[in-house]
Amino acid sequence: MENWINAEGLKDNVILSSRIRLARNLKGYPFPNKINKETADEIIKNIEDAFYSNENSKEEFKTIRLDEKTEIEKEMLFQKHIVSKSLLKNKDIGSVILNSNESISVMINEEDHLRIQGISSGLSLKEIYENINRIDNIIEEKLEFAYDSDIGYLTACPTNVGTGVRASVMVHLPCLCITKEIENAFNAVSKMGMTIRGLYGEGSKGYGNIFQISNQITLGPTEEEIINGLNAMIYQIIDKEKEARTRLMDRYKYEMKDRIMRARGILSTAIIIDYKESMELLSMIRLGIELDLIKDISKTTLNKLLIDISLPALQDKFKDEIKNDNINFYRAIVIKENFIKRGV
């Protein structure tokens, strides 16, 4: 599995990353919203012991105690999609076990006792599933999960009951947004029992034409069926986006180039720029790379910028210099660092 930020990926890939998480709970303990610190520590210890009993786990992974991290460091983990908002809310009782390239995170005492998550570059659901399934098995060998033979795995929230699987894919759909066909894509996705959301999940907006498409149903189909279903939907959406790209480039070649090059011009010169506009312009640069119109900027640079222009990343980089009224100024500095050195 590849760290999704550092991977360059295929040039024409419209998929930024794939992600799967399994929700599991230990038998005999209340769900995390009902436990005290003592019980939480016991759960952490049980899971860590079970997980690290495996020799490979010890080499590849290490535990991060959230109560030892600053607020900004925790927010950064969220920005990188390593931990969930729910884990950050449970920061006093939560913990996360992370591998070295930050592609697998085992969250403990999130909404459920255990959330095993894999995230990797491109469309890689099957590979991710194999990897997190292996971790699931390592832990299940030692610990008994809350499981009902009729229903499947029991979870804190009923929407996760059954397989406990949530698979999602982060897609970049600028041309479906330009042609407004994105509405059709939204409808198609929800008819198939899946959801489409913004970059940071539920309630977040599809800034920069980046969306997360994920399964909604966890009860009924098998884990494999869920993943195959999502995969099939994603292939359809990729096709639609590529069709839209071809059509737009056929009919509006100069207008498209204009949009992309102007985005580059603005990103290279703006003195103040807000998050939304940055995301929109960076989306045009990504499209420019994917259409082979921009050759000297890497997708890795863009992936890093997705994180680096966020408020926590700016706070982490500029510390106390960041005030409410100068965030857009420092964001512009970070962006220009990545653009100007290449010339416009």
Q: Give the separation between CA 45 and CA 129, rounded to whole angstroms.
A: 25
Report in angstroms how near the CB of residue 327 gets to a second copy at its nearest.
12
Phi, psi of 138 (to 5 degrees): -55, -45
Contact assessment for residue 51 and residue 43, using Cβ atoms and an 8 Å cutoff: no
269 binds a second copy (CB under 8 A): yes
Under the criterion CB under 8 A, does residue 275 sit at the interface with a second copy?
Answer: no
Tell me which of 10, 151, 232, 344 binds a second copy, using CB under 8 A: 344
- Structural contact between residues 65 and 95, judged by C-beta atoms closer than 8 angstroms: yes
Q: Is there a binding annotation on residue 151?
A: no
305 binds a second copy (CB under 8 A): no
- Between 247 and 266, how does the x/- string for binding to a second copy read (CB under 8 A)? -------xx-xx--xx-xxx
**Residue 197, interface with a second copy (CB under 8 A)?**
no
User: 121: which 2 tokens?
Assistant: 């570059």
Helices (H), 83-222: 85-89, 125-142, 174-178, 182-191
- Would you say 53 is a known binding-site residue? no
Q: Are 20 and 166 in contact (CB under 8 A)?
A: yes
Q: DSSP alpha helices (H): ranges in 182-319?
A: 182-191, 223-251, 253-269, 275-290, 299-308, 311-318
Q: Judged by CB, which is closer to a second copy: 236, or 269?
A: 269
| 168 assigned to a ligand binding site | yes
Kindly indicate which of the ranges 14-22, 99-107, 200-208, 336-344 contains the residues binding a second copy, using the contact rule CB under 8 A: 336-344
Q: How far is CA 318 from CA 70, 128, 161, 322, in A?
A: 15, 35, 43, 6
| 199 vs 322, beta carbon nearer a second copy | 322
Q: How far is the CB of 304 from a second copy (least distance, A)?
A: 21
Which positions lie near a second copy, rule CB under 8 A?
254-255, 257-258, 261-262, 264-273, 329, 332, 340, 343-344
